[in-house]
DNA sequence: GAGTGTAGAGCGAGCGCTCGCTCGGTTTTT
DNA sequence: AAAAACCGAGCGAGCGCTCGCTCTACACTC
């Protein structure tokens, strides 16, 4: 039934993930003093990973450049050949995830129908946040420290994701696949369920809940709400409209 | 149907809210140089409010004590008569919300039955987070900067709230009021819906969604999942068990 | 293949600045 | 006039960032 599973998603991501740092390097090359691409890529990758790691433990603001220097083993001077400033490092980190998101979540043409599209969008988002967990956590937690321009961009992409979900719901309402009262609010609530996966990871790790189990429960939760009819038992099949209950809107 | 609404909740809170700062003052009196309680309370209240305001805009770490001094109009020296250190200020802020939570969310004895209890717990949490929004936002965003002891306490209270929800669900499963597959995971997911209200406030404010509208939608969302049967129309009445559908667990 | 010039990459002590916090003196209250 | 509260210049530590220098790899000369 699902349009994609985690295993296949990982394989698809593995194909372009090494190119991510290269893309970031090229976007910011005018600010980077290191000339040779092949020399730069490994260390840039190390810098970005380490910066995310330290920032997610003590906050970007609290991470001193000396901390980063010690953790990467790259001297202060050399570090500043890769970044033009601490804020520039933040820009590169954000670019890293933005590029990944752009490459990962576009819905392919062969996925048609509201329910399939919703399934695809939600799963892609969850799976990507699993692969790039440190980045998603960082982007959420540090967003309010961004410059106004960057913050508005972050808010915009949050709203974009929501509208993507809401549009699926509206499309489903129109086709009869779904029956949900407020697609706008529903989109917001569904997004918060996706977010919990990377915001509260410690909780799920402690309980041995993996991304597939989480995704499964979330999809059930959502479908219980948006489908016109349902049975709470997992593995159900009712997707046709014939089994819908004719609910009485006017009842007190 | 609901055990409590926002209006009544506010009235109840208004009765003890002025006593909150007094409680915080007394808990930390040994660290406060200002002797006279009546002199101290107003300024302590101002300090806590302003600190929350600045912290929520630029982060607790980035808020300098000079910022706080200028914003409150209290000189550096006088400020340090109310707080023993910046970390001490953080302790007082956390105490403020902890006391409020303790006073606000205990379930009264007259609320019986799983569905009523769940309703009461969720609404109380949502309403309290509306009244103390700056505190809830602060507690979530700054938790990772706490000392290990404080962080474990925060994690504990997060898990406590979840277990409260999960227990309602389990109780409801046992009594037949609910039929939810994984009460533990469900508790976590439901909590994330409550959290979205204070984490993404800008979004809901922009859409003119108030706390009652949000609460209503969330409660519908949740009940669509946990109730054994449902109708998507708002204002429905089916709460008795006679209308339950006998769902077939084994169906493919 | 040994010697040499050079550009790229790396290094870390030190600069100017802001931070949390203090303390001797002043104003207000009782 | 004593006690309580308030004030803000000044302290050492730590911050982001720089800059004069060294090290390394490789093309070129003889």
pLDDT at A244: 37
B132: how many CB neighbours lie within 10 A of its CB?
Answer: 22
Which range, of B23-27, B152-156, B207-211, B238-242, averages the lowest pLDDT? B238-242
**Which pLDDT score, from 0 to 100, does residue B238 have?**
37
In which element (H, E) is residue A112 found?
A: none
Class of domain A6-235: mainly alpha
Report residue B221: phi and psi, to 5°.
-50, -50
Q: In the structure, what pLDDT confidence band is assigned to residue B235 with cuts at 50, 70 and 90?
A: very low
With bands split at pLDDT 50, 70 and 90, how would you rate the model's confidence at A8? very high
Question: Which residue is associated with the tokens 């001193």?
Answer: A64
Q: What pLDDT is recorded for position A1?
A: 64
Stretch A181-207: mean pLDDT: 95
Which residue minimizes Cα–C1' distance to C10? Answer: A78
Q: Name the nearest CA neighbour of B108 among B129, B126, B123.
A: B123
Q: What percent of chain A has pLDDT over 90?
A: 74
Which one of B151, B216, B224 makes the best mutation probe of the A interface by having the most chain A beta carbons within 10 Å?
B224
Does residue B230 contact residue B165 with C-beta atoms inside 8 Å?
no
- Structure confidence by residue, pLDDT tens digits, A89-109: 999 999 999 899 888 888 888
Q: Do A58 and B144 touch (CB under 8 A)?
A: yes
Q: Measured between alpha carbons, how far is B202 from B103 in angstroms, rounded to an integer? A: 27
A157 alpha-carbon distance from chain centroid: 10
pLDDT score for B229? 67
Q: Which residue does chain B place closest to A201, by CA atoms? A: B188
Average pLDDT over residues A170-179: 96
Asked if residue B246 has pLDDT above 80, the reply is no
Q: Cα-flanking dihedrals φ and ψ of residue A181, to 5°?
A: -65, -50
pLDDT for the residue B243: 35
> Can you say whether residue B229 is alpha, beta or left, with left for phi > 0 and alpha for psi between -120 and 50 degrees?
beta
Q: Do A144 and B203 touch (CB under 8 A)?
A: no
pLDDT at A13: 94
Instruction: Evaluate if residue B242 carries a pLDDT over 80.
Output: no
pLDDT at A106 (0 to 100): 81
- What average pLDDT does this structure show over B182-204? 96
Mean pLDDT of chain A: 88
Q: What tens digit of pLDDT does each residue of A12-26 get? A: 999 999 899 999 999
Q: What is the CA radius of gyration of chain A?
A: 21
DSSP character string of A172-202: HHHHTS---S-HHHHHHHHHHHHHHHHHSHH
Question: Does residue A68 reach within 7 angstroms of strand C, measured from its CB?
Answer: no
Q: How would residue A151 be classed by pLDDT, with cut points 50, 70 and 90?
A: confident
Please give the span between the terminal C-alpha atoms of chain B, in angstroms, as a whole number.
36
Tokens of B226: 């946990």
Give residue B93's Cα distance to chain centre: 14
Q: Do A217 and B185 touch (CB under 8 A)?
A: yes
Smallest Cα distance from A112 to chain B, Å: 24
DSSP state of A135: H
Identify which of B31, B43, B27 has the alpha carbon closest to the alpha carbon of residue B102: B27
- CATH superfamily, domain at B106-235: Tetracycline Repressor, domain 2 (1.10.357.10)
Mean pLDDT for A191-202 is 96
> Between B206 and B246, where is the model more confident?
B206
**What is the distance, to the nearest Å, from the Cα of residue B153 to the centroid of all Cα atoms in its chain?**
15
Other CB atoms within 10 Å distance of the CB of residue B194 = 23
Q: What is the pLDDT of residues B221-232, one digit of tens each?
A: 999 889 986 444
In sequence order, what E strands does chain B have? none
Decide if pLDDT at A232 tops 70: no
- pLDDT confidence of B90, banded at 50, 70, 90? very high
What pLDDT does residue B216 have?
94
Strand C and A6 CB separated by under 7 Å = no
User: Is B220 in Cβ contact with A233 (below 8 Å)?
Assistant: no
pLDDT at residue B48 in the model: 98
Residue in B with minimal Cα distance to A62: B61
- A104 or A211: whose pLDDT is higher? A211
Each domain of chain B, given as residue ranges in start order, spans 16-97, 106-235
Question: B143 touching A, CB under 8 A?
Answer: no
Whether residues A58 and B158 touch (CB distance < 8 A) is answered with: no
Mean of pLDDT values over A227-241: 47
Give the span between the Cα atoms of A163 and A169, in whole angstroms.
10
**What confidence score (pLDDT) does residue A229 get?**
67
Nearest to A125 by CA among A183, A195, A56, A186: A195
Q: How far apart are CA A59 and CA A51, in angstroms?
A: 10
Q: Which two tokens stand for residue B237?
A: 């009445």
Range B2-21 average pLDDT: 91
d(CA B222, CA B220): 5
Residue A192 near chain B (CB below 8 Å): yes
């Amino acid at each position: 039934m699902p349009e994609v599973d985690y295993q296949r998603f990982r394989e698809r991501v593995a194909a372009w993930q090494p190119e991510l740092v290269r893309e970031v390097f090229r976007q910011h090359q005018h600010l980077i003093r290191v000339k040779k691409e092949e020399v730069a890529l490994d260390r840039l990758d190390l810098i970005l990973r380490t910066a995310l790691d330290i920032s997610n433990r003590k906050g970007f603001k609290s991470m001193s450049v000396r901390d980063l220097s010690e953790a990467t083993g790259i001297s202060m001077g050399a570090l500043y050949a890769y970044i033009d400033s601490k804020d520039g490092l933040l820009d590169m980190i954000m670019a890293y995830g933005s590029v990944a998101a752009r490459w990962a979540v576009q819905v392919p043409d062969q996925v048609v129908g509201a329910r399939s599209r919703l399934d695809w969008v939600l799963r892609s988002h969850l799976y990507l946040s699993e692969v790039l967990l440190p980045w998603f956590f960082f982007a959420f937690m540090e967003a309010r420290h961004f410059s106004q321009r960057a913050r508005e961009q972050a808010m915009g992409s949050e709203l974009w994701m929501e509208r993507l979900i809401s549009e699926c719901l509206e499309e489903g309402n129109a086709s009869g696949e779904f029956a949900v009262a407020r697609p706008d609010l529903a989109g917001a609530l569904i997004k918060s369920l996706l977010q919990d996966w990377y915001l509260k990871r410690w909780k799920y790790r402690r309980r041995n809940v993996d991304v597939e189990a989480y995704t499964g429960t979330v999809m059930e939760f959502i479908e219980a709400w948006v489908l016109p009819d349902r049975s709470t038992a997992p593995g159900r099949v009712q997707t046709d409209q014939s089994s819908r209950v004719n609910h009485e809107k006017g009842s007190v």
